[in-house]
Amino acid sequence: DQQVKQNSPSLSVQEGRISILNCDYTNSMFDYFLWYKKYPAEGPTFLISISSIKDKNEDGRFTVFLNKSAKHLSLHIVPSQPGDSAVYFCAASSMASGTYKYIFGTGTRLKVLA
């Protein structure tokens, strides 16, 4: 039972354009979400987070949107750069559980074309 889903395994975007990565979750108890970026043979790097009390969080070129009713979040990268090419994971947690555990999606491989 995949509680966090990233239905697009890959995405290609032209440099300078917007990249939109999507993530859906099924557990309504999830209330804190993270996006990570991962290069091959390396550990994930934290990008941005969002709590369920917000519907948007912005950090430079990265913006995360949360739609609680649809149980959907998305990561927008504007403008996309070739260095953004990596695998992006969304992760969800329940703050109420107090365990700080995350469930990760399967990742979306982003390729930014120069």
Q: Which residues bind other proteins (CB under 8 A)?
A: 4, 32, 34, 36, 41-46, 49, 89, 93, 95, 99-107
Which two structure tokens, joined as six digits, stand for 51?
């709590």
Exposed / middle / buried, residue 5 (Cβ in 10 Å: 0-12, 13-18, 19+)? middle
Nearest-approach distance from CB 2 to other proteins, in angstroms? 8
| Nearer Cβ to other proteins (64/107) | 107
| Nearer Cβ to other proteins (14/26) | 26
Q: How far is CA 56 from the centre of its chain?
A: 13
Nearest-approach distance from CB 17 to other proteins, in angstroms? 26
List beta partners, residue 5.
Answer: 24
Gap between the Cα atoms of 58 and 14, Å rounded? 22
| Measured CA angle at 91 (ends 90, 92), to 5 deg | 130
| Nearer Cβ to other proteins (20/105) | 105
| Nearer Cβ to other proteins (17/39) | 39
